[in-house]
Amino acid sequence: MNREAFPLQLRAEWAAFAASRGLGVWEAWYAPYDKSVYNFVLERLAPDDVVLDIGAGDFRFALAAAARARKVYAVEVHPHLVADFLSRAGERLPPNLLVVCANALDLPIPSDVTTGVLLVRHTVHFHDFFERLRAAGARRLFTNARWHLAVEEVDLQAPRVCFDSAPPGWYACACGAVGFKEPGSPDFEIADEIHEVVQCPHCRVQKEQTV
Ligand SMILES: C[S@@+](CC[C@H](N)C(=O)[O-])C[C@H]1O[C@@H](n2cnc3c(N)ncnc32)[C@H](O)[C@@H]1O
């Protein structure tokens, strides 16, 4: 096969580049998602939203979001993807779409961001983005990083209960882990609701590994 036709992501340079930016190969892997994923988010954006799109890929979502929201900061680590998008957009680049080529973990979150978008299913940095967006005052985060298939809207400022005090049933943790808390009794009726928690069993394992 002609080397130029060989997908960029399968070349050794891609993995080396990802590692040089502190990212794993999978989280730096570029692949677009189904339109339904983008539509889920686009339909929920308001004209006064300021969006931070983390891992913008080829910028297809960021471009569509810029047509709906007040401003979009779109951050993509891979220079080839950024250069390709900018050369395609040229002078048609919308003035409210601010393109940044960087690891989003290296950037301060702008204080006007209302909405984070993390459509990066394989990120291992969910918790970092969650905490940084919350601390910057952002209201919500759209992501497929916790449930891996489904995209969800996470209320960043909602109070969260400790896993031990949460009722049995499905839970999603601020660390990015999800799971099912078993009821003590088989008669317990499980609600459809997903409980937002902190200090889940996964957090405990992580903590033990770091001490
Ligand atoms: C699976 S693709 C999805 C692209 C885009 N979000 C979409 O839905 O079309 C993930 C992208 O996120 C980028 N990425 C992952 N982690 C990043 C980070 N910490 N900072 C900036 N870009 C990142 C990768 O380089 C890749 O292009």
168-206 confidence digits (pLDDT tens): 999 999 999 999 998 877 777 777 789 999 999 999 888
Q: What is the mean pLDDT of residues 3-9?
A: 59
- Distance of alpha carbon 125 from alpha carbon 23, whole angstroms: 9
* Separation in Å, CA 42 to CA 51, 81, 102, 153: 11, 22, 24, 12
Cβ(72) to ligand 1 under 6 A? Answer: no
What mean pLDDT comes out for the span 83-112?
Answer: 97
- Whether the pLDDT of residue 78 is over 60: the answer is yes
Number of Cβ within 10 Å of residue 137's Cβ equals 13
pLDDT at 137 over 90: yes
Q: State how beta strands 161-162 and 195-198 pair.
A: parallel
* Higher-confidence position of 104 and 4: 104
pLDDT in tens, 25-36: 888 888 899 999
Query: What is the rounded distance in angstroms from the CA atom of residue 45 to the CA atom of residue 64?
Result: 11
Closest to 129 measured CA to CA, from 106, 152, 148: 106
- pLDDT band, very low/low/confident/very high, at 1 (cuts 50, 70, 90): very low
Q: What is the torsion angle, in degrees rounded to the nearest 10, for the CA atoms of residue 197, residue 43, residue 46 and residue 86?
A: 100
Other Cβ atoms less than 10 A from the Cβ of 124: the count is 13
For residues 21, 27, 33, 36, the Cα torsion angle rounded to the nearest 10 degrees is -110
132, pLDDT greater than 70:
yes
Contact 160, 62 (CB under 8 A): no
* 104 Cβ closer than 6 Å to some ligand 1 atom: yes
Say yes or no to pLDDT of 92 above 70. yes
Mean pLDDT confidence for 137-152: 94
Using 50, 70 and 90 to split pLDDT, how confident is the model at 9? low
| CA nearest ligand 1 atom 2, residue | 30
Residue 13 in 3-state DSSP? helix
CA of 193 to the centre of ligand 1 (A): 29
Report the amino acid identity of residue 16.
Answer: A
Strands 178-181 and 50-54: unpaired
Residue type present at position 100: V
Name the CATH superfamily for 3-155. Answer: Vaccinia Virus protein VP39 (3.40.50.150)
Q: From the CA of 56, how far away is ligand 1's center (Å)?
A: 5
- pTM for this prediction: 0.90
Q: Quick one: tokens of 91?
A: 């002078």
Domain with CATH 3.40.50.150 in the chain: 3-155
Query: Ligand 1 centre and the CA of 211: distance in Å?
Result: 31
Give CA separation, 27 vs 15, 72, 77, 95, 165, in Å.
10, 22, 11, 29, 33
* Per-residue pLDDT, 5: 54
